[in-house]
Structure 1
Amino acid sequence: MAHTIKSKKQLLTRVRRIKGQAEALEKALERETDCSAVLQQIAAIRGAVNGLMSEVLEGHIREHLGANDISPQQRSEDLEQVVAALRSYLK
């Protein structure tokens, strides 16, 4: 996936931010923090993961499905990969 290599630094920054948010959530639960703060942290993590998914998915679609130099068979296979990933993600 060439598009993930191109934006590797940005993607890793997002992943590290999500990791930090998950660690903060773990600490909040260990400290028995107020549930509204826990819910807010969960929502923040979900938003961060959704943003990451959106960025990688957009890159994948543009790089693989938007390319003019791929065969119809390859485009169909790439489309099926996107559909499978979306189905799994949206469960």
Structure 2
Amino acid sequence: MEHTHIAKDGTVYTHTHEEAHEHGHSHSHPHHHESTKAVLNRMNRAIGHMEAVKTMIEDGRDCSEVLIQIAAVRSAINNIGKIILEDHINHCLVDAIETGDEQVLKDLNEAINKFVK
């Protein structure tokens, strides 16, 4: 089973799914997500931000400043989660609907519940 995705920037991705995918093994193929690069870039920025906050704490900076920076990191992480979720819905979920794989839906619901807590 081969299909094509077109990214927002016009890049065309074509990939095939192994036969195992037909038999309910939803995670037998690597996930092809458009936003992996963007997610990793944002992760690196968030990690750098956390390191900076750690340094602020070590340097005895004002608690209010530290809390504001922690809020900024939390917001960045939430946005990363949203990108991952959108990508998952646009790709894995579409595939799951095509193949009738209900486990993907169960996993997604569980993940959303943990993410939104």
TM-score, shorter chain, exceeding 0.5 = yes
Query: How many percent of aligned residue pairs carry the same amino acid?
Result: 34
Q: Does 1:90 align with 2:102?
A: no
2:62 aligns with one of 21, 34, 39? 34
1:2 aligns with one of 12, 32, 43? 32
Q: Which amino acid aligns with 2:32?
A: A
The change in CA–CA distance for 1:39 and 1:55 in structure 2 (over 3 A counts) is: same
Identify unmatched segments of 5+ residues in structure 2.
1-30
Aligned-pair RMSD on alpha carbons?
A: 1.7
For residues 65 and 8 of structure 1, what CA distance do their matches in structure 2 show? 17
For residues 88 and 32 of structure 1, what CA distance do their matches in structure 2 show? 33
Greater fraction of residues in strand: 2
Larger of the two Rg values belongs to structure: 2
> Quick one: higher RCO (CA 8 Å, sep 6+), 1 or 2?
1
Q: Deviations over 1:39-73 (max 9, x none)?
A: 1111111010000000000100111223486222x
1:16 aligns with one of 23, 32, 44? 44
1:62 is matched with which residue?
90
The change in CA–CA distance for 1:8 and 1:30 in structure 2 (over 3 A counts) is: same
Identify unmatched segments of 5+ residues in structure 1.
none
TM-score (norm 1): 0.84
1:51 aligns with one of 59, 71, 79? 79
